[in-house]
């Protein structure tokens, strides 16, 4: 693959609503769009999904910039590659920084698919032409607000509802929701807000017929989750604890979860996501695609990876209008009846909207290759 230059577009976008999880509230989103340009003028795009504050993983927007500039771009410059699958092993000489690695690798994958004239979904081995999607609802000020939100998203057709929980906003709140929506597919995501000391409360969740509980315990744990899974019927889904195929293998071996949430950025890119997907498929562990409040480019990557066959549960990839007044891609990601059609055009299959890119850009860094 030939690279002429790599461009980092630093963007600032304000979400329509603040989004609250057990670790904090976010409304202003700052991130990088990575653009990889080849000598024929083809352009591939990736998105960094880290936040300005390291409260989901240790990475930040700033740390992503330093790692990309100081290490990842020089590595790509010095070591020619012929396929995007070679990016992950190249970068694996550096520890961690999966979101920085993934932002570059995503741009390389998009560029490669465009050079081949095929969709990114096809390049990754995706088979589905449409994907089922759910919605993730942040912690609301009151249960009344929450019920109102749920109703609105069900009317829009979303196929499952994920509710963020934290101590004080958990089993009682979920009981209230169940009373009003007895049959709706509902799950809860704790973002690591509990410990095994909360086991009695967590056991009570078994009465609520939840699809799963996502990451109830510590962010890097698989031991306590295995203990918890033995005590409860509700499937545990791991998010934060899974950074690699290795983590997925160990979690499955230990019985720490029955479902895995794959976030491309968290595991270091699309190649590793495909490997985790394949391993889970062989071991009868269903997966779904998580979200990081992405703008259009990251959203498009999520649509592409979700087209693989073992993404059997609805993911968190909502339509662009869930978070953005105006997204940076054309057309925007559209959800109808809880479905997104996987684009068939080359690469991510959505055009980057140049005007929007410029409108939201606060810095542009160019690197000759």
Q: Active-site residue numbers? A: 164, 263
CB of 292 to ligand OSB, least distance (A): 5
- The verdict on whether residue 355 carries a ligand-binding annotation is no
Cβ-based neighbours of 69, under 8 Å, separated by 6 or more = 8, 365, 367
132 binds, among Mg ion, ligand OSB, none (CB under 5 to 8 A by kind): none
Comparing CA positions, the residue from 342, 301, 351, 344 lying closest to residue 119 is: 344
Of the candidates 47, 110, 189, 353, which one interacts with ligand OSB according to CB under 6 A? 189
Question: 73 with 367: CB under 8 angstroms?
Answer: yes
Of the candidates 239, 247, 327, 353, which one interacts with ligand OSB according to CB under 6 A? 239
CA 304/CA 301 separation, integer angstroms: 5
Of residues 88 and 153, the one with the C-beta less far from ligand OSB = 153
- For residues 320 to 359, the per-residue mask of contacts with Mg ion, x marking binding by CB under 5 A and - elsewhere, is ----------------------------------------
Of residues 262 and 318, the one with the C-beta less far from ligand OSB = 318
Of the candidates 126, 268, 291, 296, which one interacts with ligand OSB according to CB under 6 A? 291
Question: 4 with 37: CB under 8 angstroms?
Answer: yes
* Burial (CB count within 10 angstroms: exposed 0-12, middle 13-18, buried 19+), residue 122: middle
318 binds, among Mg ion, ligand OSB, none (CB under 5 to 8 A by kind): ligand OSB
Of the candidates 131, 270, 293, 348, which one interacts with ligand OSB according to CB under 6 A? 293
Rg (CA), the chain: 20
- The verdict on whether residue 214 carries a ligand-binding annotation is yes
- For residues 234 to 273, the per-residue mask of contacts with Mg ion, x marking binding by CB under 5 A and - elsewhere, is -----x----------------------------------
Q: At what angle do helices 223-231 and 245-254 cross, to 10 degrees?
A: 40
**DSSP class per residue in 215-268:** --S-TT-SHHHHHHHHH-SSPEEESTT--SHHHHHHHHHHT--SEEEE-TTTTT
Of the candidates 34, 146, 292, 305, which one interacts with ligand OSB according to CB under 6 A? 292
Applying CB under 5 A, which residues contact Mg ion?
189, 214, 239
């Amino acid at each position: 693959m030939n690279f002429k230059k790599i461009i980092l577009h630093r963007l600032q976008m304000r979400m329509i609503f603040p989004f609250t999880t057990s670790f904090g509230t976010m409304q202003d989103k700052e991130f990088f769009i990575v653009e990889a340009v080849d000598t024929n003028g083809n352009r591939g795009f990736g998105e960094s999904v880290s936040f300005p504050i390291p409260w989901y993983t240790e990475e930040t927007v700033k740390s992503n910039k330093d790692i990309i500039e100081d290490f990842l771009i020089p590595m790509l410059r010095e070591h020619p590659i012929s396929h995007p699958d070679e990016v992950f092993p190249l970068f694996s000489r550096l520890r961690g920084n999966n979101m920085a690695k993934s932002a570059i690798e995503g741009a390389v994958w998009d560029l490669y698919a465009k050079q081949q004239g095929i969709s990114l979904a096809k390049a990754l081995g995706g088979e589905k032409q449409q994907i089922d999607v759910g919605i993730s609802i942040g912690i609301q000020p009151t249960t009344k607000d929450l019920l109102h939100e749920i109703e609105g998203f069900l009317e829009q057709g979303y196929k499952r509802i994920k509710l963020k929980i934290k101590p004080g906003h958990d089993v009682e709140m979920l009981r209230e929701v169940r009373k009003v929506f007895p049959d709706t597919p509902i799950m809860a995501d704790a973002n690591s807000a509990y410990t095994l000391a909360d086991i009695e409360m967590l056991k009570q969740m078994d009465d609520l017929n939840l699809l799963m509980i996502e990451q109830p315990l510590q962010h890097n744990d698989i031991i306590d989750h295995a203990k918890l899974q033995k005590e409860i019927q509700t499937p545990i889904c791991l998010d934060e604890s899974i950074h690699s195929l290795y983590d997925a293998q160990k979690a499955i071996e230990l019985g720490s979860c029955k479902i895995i949430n794959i976030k491309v950025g968290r595991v270091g890119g699309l190649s590793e996501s495909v490997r985790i997907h394949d391993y889970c498929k062989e071991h009868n562990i269903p997966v779904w695609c998580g979200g990081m409040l992405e703008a259009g480019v990251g959203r498009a990557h999520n649509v592409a990876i979700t087209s693989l066959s073992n993404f059997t549960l609805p993911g968190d990839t909502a339509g662009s209008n869930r978070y953005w007044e105006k997204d940076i891609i054309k057309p925007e990601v559209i959800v109808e009846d809880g479905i997104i059609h996987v684009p068939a055009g080359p690469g991510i299959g959505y055009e980057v909207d140049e005007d929007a890119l410029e409108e939201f850009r606060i810095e542009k860094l160019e690197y000759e290759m």
